[in-house]
Amino acid sequence: MPDGRGANHAMLRIRKIRKARPDKMSVRVLAERVGVNSGHMSRIESGARWPKFETLLAIAEVLDVPVHTLFESCPEPSPAAEQLLERLNRADEKTLARVAAVIDAILDN
């Protein structure tokens, strides 16, 4: 699990991206589109909660940004990461759920 500093930094980036949109999307609308309640989304944005991998993917999709942009201090993805992302983009929902469960299990240890 990421340390608190990294989580807060990434979550502040989500809020920054959301507020910079031309439609000034509210946290409530983002939460509805992602499929979580607005209180949970507020805690994610503030860094009080770390979202599951599939929630991060959904946030990036709703905000129409690549996942790596949610992490302001992260460099551009490596070629290997790009290849993995391309494969994930072709995967069906069942496969994505399985991949997310594996990632969650790894990060929770």
Nearest to 14 by CA among 30, 33, 37: 30
Residue 74, CA atoms < 13 Å, CB-side half-sphere: 15
Q: Which tokens hold the place of 58?
A: 């959904």
Q: In the chain, how many domains are there?
A: 1
**pLDDT > 90 in the chain, percent:** 42
Rounded mean pLDDT, 75-96: 85
pTM above 0.75, yes or no: no
Greater model confidence, 9 or 49: 49
**pLDDT > 70 in the chain, percent:** 83
Domain of 47?
A: 4-108
Rounded mean pLDDT, 13-29: 92
Q: Which tokens hold the place of 15?
A: 């809020």
Q: Dihedral (C-alpha) 6, 37, 88, 4: value to the nearest 10 degrees?
A: 10
Rounded mean pLDDT, 88-99: 91
CATH number of residue 85's parent domain: 1.10.260.40
The pLDDT value recorded for residue 1 is: 40
* Cβ–Cβ < 8 Å for 71, 10: yes
* 3-class SS of residue 78: coil
